[in-house]
């Protein structure tokens, strides 16, 4: 249950006041859920702290689709440099690694692959969603990994295969080059992927959310007030999806790490 303001005491926030300058946060303090006693802070870069972080982000079901994103306070998925690099910090990347390790596949749109300079994850398969097959400017080195899949319409197979000859191509039905979120998910499930994380971009995240397919949204909020150059869920309207705050952590730089559930788990 989300606490009242009086339940989250000033003591819980002191690490952010005593700690280093922004973007150097390390120690995580749990704020939600509120138990009988305050949960102790932990360092996710120790063995014990890493185990606590894995437990804090464990998916509650084997079949689980979550979105993982970072945003500024004002809702931008991109920082001053036009990418998420100027929003993230070391602890956020630690969270990212834990979520990826708990997933069978990481789904991402082609634009994010080009802009963010994606690499193949250490453990999970990388699944790229593209309507056109245009993957120019990518920095992927998939040779020998066997962990790269491209989901695209039939008409985009030649372009995608030319850009990534070592990738597995999976054809998804389309209407005028646009693939439905449910068809993308079904294609992903057909490969045996059950625990799925979508890392965006905003259009893909919004597409899954609008279709009512998302079980969870993990949001890292960077302590920066920025112009909203790239809205986290794109500039589109869809029917609101109710969500419940399952977990909230704060680090020493005042970066917040939230898990929002949109699927009943009990």
Q: State how far the Cα of 61 lies from the Cα of 23, in Å rounded to an integer.
A: 32
Q: What is the pLDDT of residue 236?
A: 78
Which residues have a Cβ under 8 Å from the Cβ of 62 and sit 6 or more positions away?
194, 195
Per-residue buried b or exposed e for 217-247, using 16+ beta carbons within 10 Å of the residue's own CB: bbbbbbbbebeeebbbbbeeeeeeeeeeebb
Report residues of the chain scoring pLDDT below 70: 1-25, 35-38, 142-144, 266
pTM of the model: 0.87
Task: Count Cβ atoms within 10 A of the Cβ of residue 80 and give its class: 0-12 exposed, 13-18 middle, 19 or more buried.
Answer: middle
Q: State how far the Cα of 103 lies from the Cα of 82, in Å rounded to an integer.
A: 27
Q: What is the pLDDT of residue 266?
A: 59
Q: What is the pLDDT of residue 37?
A: 61
Other Cβ atoms within 10 Å of 45 Cβ, number: 13
- Which DSSP state fits 82? S
Q: State how far the Cα of 204 lies from the Cα of 199, in Å rounded to an integer.
A: 9
The domain 61-251 belongs to what CATH superfamily? Dihydrofolate Reductase, subunit A (3.40.430.10)
Domain boundaries, the chain: 61-251
Residues in the chain: 266
Query: Sign (positive/negative) of CA torsion 94, 196, 67, 203?
Result: positive
């Amino acid at each position: 249950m989300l606490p009242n303001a009086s339940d989250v005491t000033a003591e819980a926030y002191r690490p952010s006041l005593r700690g280093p300058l922004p973007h150097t946060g390390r120690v995580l303090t749990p704020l939600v859920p509120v138990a009988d006693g305050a949960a102790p802070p932990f360092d996710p870069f120790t063995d014990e702290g890493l185990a606590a972080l894995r437990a804090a982000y464990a998916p509650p079901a084997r079949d689980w689709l979550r979105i993982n994103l970072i945003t500024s306070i004002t809702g931008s998925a991109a920082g001053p440099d036009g990418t998420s690099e100027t929003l993230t910090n070391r602890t956020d990347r630690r969270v990212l690694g834990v979520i990826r390790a708990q997933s069978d596949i990481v789904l991402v749109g082609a634009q994010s692959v080009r802009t963010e300079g994606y690499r193949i994850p250490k453990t999970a398969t990388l699944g790229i969603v593209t309507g056109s097959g245009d993957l120019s400017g990518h920095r992927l080195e998939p040779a020998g990994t066997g962990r790269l899949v491209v989901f695209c319409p039939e008409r985009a197979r030649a372009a995608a295969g030319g850009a990534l000859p070592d990738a597995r191509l999976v054809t998804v039905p389309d209407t005028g080059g646009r693939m439905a979120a449910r068809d993308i998910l079904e294609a992903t499930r057909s490969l045996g992927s059950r625990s799925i994380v979508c890392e965006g971009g905003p259009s893909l995240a919004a597409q899954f959310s609008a279709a009512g397919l998302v079980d969870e949204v993990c949001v890292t909020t960077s302590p920066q007030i920025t112009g909203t150059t790239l809205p986290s869920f794109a500039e589109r309207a869809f029917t609101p999806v109710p969500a419940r705050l399952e977990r909230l952590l704060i680090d020493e730089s005042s970066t917040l790490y939230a898990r929002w559930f949109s699927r009943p788990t009990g």
